[in-house]
Amino acid sequence: MSDIIYLDHAATTPVRPEVLEAMLPYFSQHYGNPSSLHSLGRATGKALRAAREQMAEVLGCAPGEIVVTSSGTEADNLALRGVALARRQRGEGQHIVVSAVEHKGILDTACHLRDHFGFELTVLPVDATGRVSPDDLGAAMRPDTAIVSIMAANNEVGTLQPLRALSAVCRERGVPFHSDAVQASGTLSLRVDELGVDLLSLGGHKLYGPKGVGLLYVRRGTPLLPQITGGSQEGKRRASTENVPYIVGLATALMLSQAERQTESVRLTAMRERLIDGVLASIPDAYLTGHRTERLANHASFVARGIEAEGMLIGLDLGGICASSGSACTSGAQEPSHVLTAMGVPRVDAVGHLRLSLGHSNSEADVARVLEVLPPLVSRLRAMSPFANT
């Protein structure tokens, strides 16, 4: 395993040792149900409260404004469904606005609310770099707009959205603004007041925490209809016995990643730049996707014309390099990515999309290795490809 060069940190990250260590006592030793009155229950209840305070400190919010969920996707669902349904009940709207490049957790949920629950939906276009224009958002807003959801950073092309300008448009009109920051959580500031968001989704496994835990920040006073009902956990906004080890793990991961954020961003950006420059210089007929500068520190993505991504991924994998073609859902069907399509990337190019996402485990040597392996691989694939000679 140690010989593998992992360049798929946008898909998932390993649990870092400090996080695993923090979680371990809560599986078999401090295992009480936090709702129990006895000593074992009180001990885990105390651990939960401490974890919630740590998370709130990172976000700059009150502990009660955090709803722990089982994933970033669940947080996205709770934000969109919870606010849309609650506001409609109050007669405050039935119109939803999202961008065309959202993660499927938002895009499919918005369509689900339209198709099954009678909401109206506006999907905002993006420019060639994947950015939403605040003017377009302003023009799309209606008196009955219930919620706007625009991601902080795109998972496939790494583009950062102008969040403050977008949230200002919503703030002016008093419409709740949600942002899916799952992909951004390792490298951006997560202070909710700086971002201007009313709701924010995060996921543990993109920041060296476990898969199966996430959180939704919900600004006090935001109407929210719970989506999982039963017990009174999470301030009656999300029932289920708390997943104590993972909540402790998420808090630990968040604190560590935010503490290291600035130094790690500098390190990753330098590697990213060498990777981008190196690929563009050594592979003819390749171009960067997403924004050149307004992109995640760890994210490089390309189109190599004339070949399919699958060949590159298999070739890299055989060379011990783990990469992806845009999202972790590329296997099977050859549908072109909705993100690239929205950005105007031609279908014939979109099938040749490659994403290289850096992280803790990577060093300059890994970048050098990719630049050694990838160009000849692309040449070989082009020589074999039916799409070549374009």
Site for its own copies in 328-387 (CB under 8 A): 328-331
Q: By CB under 8 A, is residue 257 in contact with its own copies?
A: no
Pick the stretch among 120-128, 167-175, 209-217, 379-387 that binds its own copies (CB under 8 A).
Answer: 209-217
Pick the stretch among 73-81, 119-127, 295-303, 381-389 that binds its own copies (CB under 8 A).
Answer: 73-81
Interface residue with its own copies among 231, 284, 346, 376 (CB under 8 A) is 231
Q: By CB under 8 A, is residue 196 in contact with its own copies?
A: no
Given the complex with its own copies, which of 165 and 228 has the nearer CB atom? Answer: 228
237: Cα separation from own chain's centroid: 22
Computed over its alpha carbons, how large is the radius of gyration of the chain?
21
Looking from the CA of 75 toward its CB, the CA atoms found within 13 Å total 28
Enzyme catalytic residues: 329
Given the complex with its own copies, which of 230 and 376 has the nearer CB atom? Answer: 230
**CB distance 97 to 144 below 8 Å:** no
Pick the stretch among 21-29, 57-65, 132-140, 334-342 that binds its own copies (CB under 8 A).
Answer: 21-29
Q: By CB under 8 A, is residue 83 in contact with its own copies?
A: no
Q: By CB under 8 A, is residue 17 in contact with its own copies?
A: yes
Q: By CB under 8 A, is residue 313 in contact with its own copies?
A: yes
As a whole number of angstroms, the distance between CA 287 and CA 278 comes to 12
Q: By CB under 8 A, is residue 234 in contact with its own copies?
A: no
C-alpha dist (Å) from residue 80 to 27, 97, 108, 253: 32, 10, 11, 25
CB-count burial class (<10 Å; 0-12, 13-18, 19+) for 152 = buried
Query: Least distance to its own copies from the beta carbon of 85, Å?
Result: 7
Dihedral class, residue 157 (left if φ above 0, else alpha if ψ from -120 to 50, else beta): alpha
CB-count burial class (<10 Å; 0-12, 13-18, 19+) for 387 = middle
DSSP 205-217: GGTTS-TT-EEEE
Given the complex with its own copies, which of 10 and 61 has the nearer CB atom? Answer: 10
Given the complex with its own copies, which of 301 and 324 has the nearer CB atom? Answer: 324
Query: Least distance to its own copies from the beta carbon of 352, Å?
Result: 15
Query: Least distance to its own copies from the beta carbon of 122, Å?
Result: 18
Looking from the CA of 195 toward its CB, the CA atoms found within 13 Å total 29
